[in-house]
Each structure stands twice: as C-alpha cells, then as structure tokens.
Amino acid sequence: MRWRVCGVLFVLVTVSGVLLARDAWPARARSAGEITIHVWKQRHAMVLQQGDEVIRRFEVALGKDPASSKEQQGDGRTPEGNYYICEKRPNSRFHRFLGISYPNIEDAERAYDEHLISADEWADIFFANLRETTPPWQTALGGRVGIHGYGGRELIPVDWTEGCIAVSDADIEYLYDQVPLGTRVIISE
C-alpha cells in the first residue's frame, strides 16, 4: 500500500513539473541566444531563430495530408505542437535527418484517451519527453518524424513525405551543422 501511495505522489510531482516546463517552452524559446525552429504548415515555411532574431528562412514540403495534425502511424500527416530535436543522423535515405520528438506528452494523452496506446506506452513516451530523449517510435502513433533533405532527388513542389518536414539537401546540411540536440521545434498549422 505504501508503495502505491509513493508511486502516485511521484507521478503527480513529475507530471506537475513537466506541465510547468511545457508551458514555459515558448518563453524559453525566446530567451536570448537559444536556437529554435518554427514551422508554419499552411505557409510551407520554416525559420531558424536565435532568440528573437531570424537567422534563416526555409521553404518546406510536408506530409501528404498537410492540413491535419498527425494522429497515428501511416496517416501521412505532419504533427503540430511543441517538440525538440531528439536525434541527429548524418546519413539517411534523405541525406541528413534531424529527428523530432513526436509523439510528445499531448500526443500520448490524446492517444491514451482514444485507447490507441497502453498505459505502459504512455509512460514510455512521458518519461522520454521528460528526459528529452527519443520517444518510442513503434507505437500506434507512429514516429520517425523529422526534418530531412531530398536525398539527391529533384525538389518536388508538392507535399510528399510520410509526415516529415523536407527541405533541400543544401538546407538540411546547414541545419544539421547549426542545430544541437534539444533544440525546440514548434510546429503550427
């Protein structure tokens, strides 16, 4: 009995801390010197900022269904919300890859409420986001969402990814060198 009470208290304290930190993301993103990536899906635009200063602008291609937010694996949608760069791969089939921390805690909450993921999967996602590591990418929510290049292909003027954000190979090389792990990524409609 005592272990359950301790476990519940631990989860409540942890959740409170994460919620406070999550609410502080936009404020932290604007702090002097912090690098942030902002994506606006409707405009097919992305900016790299340092504090309030825009360093560079990019045109992007998105998932095949760009008007909606990602809900589950295979839906061809790009997520919306607050994320962070959780992985950097120098070589991928799309040149370079910056992994985004999809699913985040809000995505997991929605999926758990809709019975798409188990309590254990929710907890794995929750704690990965708390530690700012890569969340599980093999749940019903999908994963392996990131910012990547075209992999030597010609630029395609339509949305073609499975939910990722694509930029030119030259742009992903620039981003890869500029963006550290933990960089905030804010994706809006």
pLDDT digits (tens, 9 = 90+) for 148-167: 999 888 887 789 999 999 99
pTM exceeds 0.85, yes or no: no
Taking the C-alpha atoms of residue 95 and residue 168, their distance in angstroms, rounded to an integer, is: 10
CB atoms under 10 Å from CB of 68, counted, come to: 15
Q: What average pLDDT is seen over the chain?
A: 87
> CA angle 140-180-144, nearest 5°?
15
In order of 36, 121, 185, the CA distances from 178 in angstroms are 11, 32, 14
Residue 38 has what pLDDT?
Answer: 98
Q: Which residues of the chain have pLDDT under 50?
A: 1-9, 12, 19-30
What letters, b where the CB count within 10 A reaches 16 and e where it falls short, cover 19-45?
Answer: eeebeebeeebeeeeebbbbbebeebe
Structural domains present in the chain: 2-188 (2.40.440.10)
